[in-house]
């Protein structure tokens, strides 16, 4: 059984990818970076989601000698020219302060009418092998941004993005409902044929 390493310590993300690989009948053992505590986090210095995902995947593959998967994702607001984009997690200045990021974005969009509040979550997922082989796939979830947060599931900008065809925000969906349509779910599922091609 080939061991695959996923560039995250997020147990939810590991479980999600495990389920997707399992559903596809792939026999690979998947572990997160917490299995290798000696490996430092990789700085995301790329200017696109794909570049950041590849940076992390290649660093892990080199450090462990194993095939590595990494993803990078964020919210892209049309009226802001695609921002916050790769800066989604640190839009308000401090990395990972979800509430501050949300408050700042809502303030920036305060005067923007509903018809111009279109946005999408984007995710790039990369697979890198120790020999330098690489592949990147992408997934998107389009929707519109609410004026006020709603829902307690999910994280980040989930409480304000209402997916196309939905009356609820991402944070009002169950984890199963969200995974079925999410940008990360789409990207991870698109990675399945790539894993099959490169790793058998």
By annotation, the residues acting in catalysis are 72
Q: Which residues pair with 32 in a beta bridge?
A: 6
Task: Name the 3-class secondary structure at 57.
Answer: helix
- By the 8 A CB rule, do 170 and 145 touch? no
List, as one string, the DSSP characters of 142-174. Answer: EEEE-SS---SSS-TTTTTEEETT-SS-GGGS-
CA nearest to 194, candidates 23, 13, 26: 26
């Amino acid at each position: 059984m080939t061991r695959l390493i996923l560039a995250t310590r997020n147990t939810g993300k590991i479980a999600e990818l495990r389920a997707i690989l399992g559903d596809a009948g792939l026999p690979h053992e998947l572990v997160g970076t917490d299995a290798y505590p000696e490996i430092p986090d990789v700085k995301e210095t790329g200017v696109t989601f794909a570049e950041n995902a590849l940076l992390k995947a290649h660093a892990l593959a080199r450090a462990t000698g194993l095939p590595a998967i990494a993803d990078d994702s964020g919210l892209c607001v049309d009226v802001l020219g695609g921002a916050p984009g790769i800066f989604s997690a640190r839009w308000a200045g401090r990395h990972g302060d979800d509430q501050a990021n949300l408050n700042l974005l809502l303030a920036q969009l305060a005067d923007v009418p509903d018809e111009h509040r279109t946005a999408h979550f984007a995710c790039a997922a990369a697979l890198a092998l120790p020999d330098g082989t690489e592949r990147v796939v992408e997934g998107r979830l389009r929707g519109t941004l609410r004026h006020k947060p709603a829902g307690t599931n999910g994280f980040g900008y989930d409480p304000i993005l209402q997916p196309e065809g939905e009356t609820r925000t991402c944070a009002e969906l169950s984890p199963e409902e969200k995974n079925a349509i999410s940008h990360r779910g789409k990207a991870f599922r698109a990675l399945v044929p790539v894993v099959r091609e490169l790793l058998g």
